Chains A and B, each alone.
Chain A
Amino acid sequence: MFSDEQIEMSRHTAIEMSRELHKTAQPLTVLQGVLELALQKAHTVEDYRQYCERAIAELQRVGESFNQVRKLLRSGFKGARI
C-alpha cells in the first residue's frame, strides 16, 4: 500500500513530467521543420551546415528536457533504479 504522502508525491511528479514533456513539443517542431526545409530543395554546403547546426541545437533542447524528466523521476520515486 502507498501512503497519502507517496501518492501526492507521485501525482506531483507526474504533473511536472507532463509539463516537461509538453515543452519538448517546441524543439521537436523546429527539428522536424528544419529537416523538411533542408530536404525541400538543393542547398549550398553552407546552408546545409546551418540546417545541421540548428537541428543539433534543437536536439540539445530535447536532451535537456529528457534529463529533466529523469531527474523528476528520480526525485519522485526515490529508491527506484532510473
Chain B
Amino acid sequence: MMLETANTISHDSERRLNQSRVLVAEDDVPLARFLQRGFQDNSYVVDLVHDGEAALDVLFQGGYDLLVTDLNLPGLDGVSLLKRVRATTSRLPILVLTARGGVEDRITSLDSGADDYVIKPFSFQELMARTRALLRRHNSTSVGQIQVGDLKLNRDEFRVERSGKTIDLTAKEFALLEYLMVNAHRSVTRAMIMENVWKTSYDGSTNLVDVYMKYVRDKVDAAFTPKLIRTIRGVGYVLSDRS
C-alpha cells in the first residue's frame, strides 16, 4: 500500500495536541507533495496516498479528522471512494479537489458524500480556509453532549435535560434546540434555521420557525430561570445563559 507520512510526525502517539490529521488522496505527485508541505506548514499532520484503494485501506484504520481527495484517482475513482467511505462513516469531513467545475460534477461530488469542494486551480489560502471551516463544523457537531448553562443536550442518547429534569422533545424540536446550542451566544436568523434544521431555503412566507421556537421555549424555558432563548427583533434568535 502506498502511504507516505511525514518523517517527523507519522504516528498518532507522536501527534501533538490540537493537531488535526489529514489524509490527502491525490495521484499527481508534485501536487500531492505540495499539499502535504502546505498542510504541514499550517500545523496539520498529513498522510499521502496516490490511489483510491490505498485511501480506503488507510481510512479504515481510522484516526483521520479530514479526507482531502482528488476525483480523478486511479484504481478506485473519487466518486466511488466517497460512496464507500460514506457507507461506513457519515462523520468524517471530506473535501474534494476537482478540475471538473461543471454543475453536474459538483452535484455528483456533494451527493456522493463530499462536504465541500474546490476547483483546480485553486488558491491554497482558500483551501486552508475551507479546511478550517469543515473542521470547525465537524468539531461543533461531533461532541456527544453540548451544555449551555444548566441545559444539557446529548446527541448520542437523544436526551435533553435542564437542572437535572428530563425534557421530552420531538425530533424536529431536538434538531432546532441542537442548532441553537451549537450556535450558543450567537444570533441565528430564521433563514439560517430553515436552511440548517429544515434543510430548505427560507422565503419569508412561513412561520414554521416561530411555531417550533414556541414549542421549544415552552419545554425548555417556561418552567425555568433564567430564560435561555431570546428573540432578537429584526434578526432572529439567540440561546445564551449570559445576560
Contacts and interface: CB of A to CB of B under 8 A. Distances in A.
Given A25-B99, A37-B38, A37-B41, A30 B31 contact: yes
Decide if the interface of chain A is mainly helix, strand, loop or mixed: helix
Contact of A26 (B30, B38, B125, B127): B30
B168 interface: no
B30 A33 contact: no
A32 B31 CA distance: 11
B122 A26 contact: no
Interface in A33-69: 33-34, 36-37, 54, 57-58, 61
Interface string B79-106: 0000000000000000001011000000
Interface residues of A, number: 17
Given A33-B38, A37-B38, A37-B41, A26 B31 contact: yes
Given A37-B38, A61-B30, A29 B120 contact: yes
Given A32-B123, A36-B125, A26 B28 contact: yes
Contact of A29 (B31, B41, B125): B31
Given A25-B99, A26-B120, A29-B120, A34 B125 contact: no
Contacts of A29: 31, 34, 97, 120-122
A25 B26 CA distance: 13
A26 to B, nearest CB: 4
A36 B124 contact: yes
Contacts of B121: 25, 28-29, 31-32
Instruction: Tell me which of B123, B124, B125 has the highest count of chain A C-beta atoms within 10 A of its own C-beta.
Output: B124
A15 B90 CA distance: 36
A34 B123 CA distance: 10
A67 to B, nearest CB: 18
Contacts of B35: 33
Given A22-B99, A25-B99, A32 B122 contact: yes
B105 to A, nearest CB: 12
B30 A57 contact: yes
A81 to B, nearest CB: 30
Interface in B7-66: 28, 30-31, 34-35, 38, 41
A25 B121 CA distance: 5
A61 B34 CA distance: 15
A36 B34 CA distance: 12
17 contacts: A25-B121, A26-B31, A26-B120, A27-B30, A29-B121, A30-B31, A32-B121, A32-B123, A33-B34, A33-B35, A33-B38, A36-B123, A37-B41, A37-B124, A54-B34, A57-B30, A58-B30
Given A22-B100, A28-B121, A37-B41, 6 more contacts: A26-B30, A26-B99, A29-B121, A33-B35, A33-B123, A36-B123
